[in-house]
């Protein structure tokens, strides 16, 4: 029995290294697509567009949370195009927009009077793709953002953003979450 221990240890190590090479890459659950959010140095993520036309911003946030993710944060033009291409391939009919994870926070005190937009991942905006004339002013109640998926309304082009009221509008949405390791349960 003791003579078999080295052989057993070798087989376990061999199986583990074979599994690591076979299953080591990033994967997404069925219905999600794999992408790199910023560049090759960031952890790969999974994105999923959900065709639920009856959700306001808060409901979309909750739905993404129940799927193990959050509303998508858009950090580059390439990522913006990836979202647009994903939605186009799904043949979304109407509405011509989706919720993205961008919200406005306004502060107003005697020392500071500013508005900042934050992504659902907690980061501030560095890349933006606002529709001309948007976002509207600081005093507006339009505190959430949509991405247009078809050209037309408000002279929008594909993939441009507009600030809207979070509660009075409903739209499909795009979630994101971290990718998992292939061969393992996501």
Give 27-181's CATH code, choosing from 2.120.10.30, 3.40.50.10700, 2.30.40.10, 3.10.100.10: 3.10.100.10
Residue of higher predicted confidence among 136 and 183: 136
Strand 45-50 with 70-71, pairing: unpaired
Beta-carbon count within 10 A of 55 CB = 19
Nearest CA to 29 out of 43, 47, 42, 49 is that of 47
At residue 11, the pLDDT reads 35
Residues of the chain by 3-state class (helix, strand, coil), percent to 5:
25, 25, 50
Tokens of 101: 């994870």
Q: What pTM value is reported for the model?
A: 0.79
Only one residue has tokens 């508005």, namely 115
Tell me, what DSSP letter sits at residue 76? S
Give whole-number Cα distances, 21 to 9, 155, 168, 172, in Å: 18, 49, 49, 38
Q: What is the pLDDT of residues 37-96, one digit of tens each?
A: 555 557 899 999 999 989 999 999 999 999 999 999 999 999 999 998 888 888 766 678
Asked if residue 18 has pLDDT above 50, the reply is no
Q: How confident is the model at residue 10 (pLDDT cuts 50, 70, 90)?
A: very low
Phi, psi values for residue 58, rounded to 5°? -60, -40
Asked if residue 22 has pLDDT above 60, the reply is no
């Amino acid at each position: 029995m003791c003579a078999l221990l080295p052989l057993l240890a070798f087989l376990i190590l061999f199986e583990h290294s074979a599994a690591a090479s076979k299953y080591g890459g990033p994967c997404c659950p069925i219905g999600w697509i794999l992408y790199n959010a910023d560049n090759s140095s960031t952890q790969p993520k999974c994105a999923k567009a959900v065709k639920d036309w009856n959700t306001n911003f808060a409901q979309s946030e909750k739905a993404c949370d129940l799927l193990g993710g959050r509303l998508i944060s858009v950090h580059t033009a390439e990522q913006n195009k990836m979202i647009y291409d994903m939605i186009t391939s799904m043949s979304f009919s109407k509405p011509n927009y989706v919720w993205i994870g961008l919200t406005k926070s306004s502060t107003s005190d005697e020392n500071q009077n500013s508005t900042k937009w934050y992504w659902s991942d907690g980061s501030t905006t560095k890349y933006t793709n606002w529709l001309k004339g948007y976002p509207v002013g600081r005093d507006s109640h339009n505190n959430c953002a949509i991405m247009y998926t078809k050209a037309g309304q408000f002279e929008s082009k594909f993939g441009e953003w507009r600030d809207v009221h979070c509660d009075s509008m409903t739209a499909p949405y795009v979630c994101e979450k971290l990718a998992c390791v292939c061969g393992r349960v996501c």
